[in-house]
Amino acid sequence: MDAAIASGRGVLVVEPQTSCIDAMIWRVSRRWAVSAVTGLKGDTRPERWINKRRECGLQTVYGTDQLRPVMRALKRGEVIWMSPDVPIPVERGGVRTHYFGQRAMPSSAPARLAAMTGASVLSLSPVRSDCGARYRLCFHPIASCGPDPVTATQQLAYHLEQLVSLHPEQYLWSARRFELRRGTGLRDQSLRSVPVR
């Protein structure tokens, strides 16, 4: 993380959804100046509380519809944290990928932002221990996946899948991540657009 920041190219930190940013926000902000992209709109009381807490510990909290300011921040050499493993409509940059044997529609924003800004891309694997009292943060470099956002997003999905598999009990499985077959309620096991590993 320190080396990536020192490069001056901006750093994009991607993390599978584990709520680590909320648990570790004060510790992280004491070492690094970090901004985050969140999909919480503040429509409910819990969402407003979470956003207010994040705003206190982060430099800036961007919405998922504010990618232009995020791109400018990366070009200035700033650090941006985001969790791309959430379903995003195609018209907002969602890309059909293969994730845990299911069809998913994660955001292609990390791949597009990295291609446009040249930012370093790191993944964050938080590991909760001691009954949730302590966290160990492990940063992993992600090699450039090339300019094609579909291929890059799929490779990122495989990378996040491997991180989640190390500690599956700490992943937020309750969040909806996978596409469902219309009318059946069954998850579609097929994925024609992306080859399965």
The answer to the question of residue 179 being in a domain is no
Helix then strand count (H, E) for the chain reads 7, 8
Query: Considering its fold, how many domains does the chain have in total?
Result: 1
User: Which domain range does residue 75 map to?
Assistant: 5-170
Residue 181 lies in a domain: no
pLDDT band at 114 (very low <50, low <70, confident <90, very high): very high
Asked if residue 194 is part of any domain, the answer here is no
- Cβ atoms of residues 36 and 21 within 8 Å: yes
The predicted model scores a pTM of 0.81
Mean pLDDT across the chain: 81
pLDDT single digits (tens) 23-40: 777 778 888 999 988 877
Residue 74 in any domain: the answer is yes
pLDDT band at residue 76 using 50, 70 and 90 as cut-offs: very high
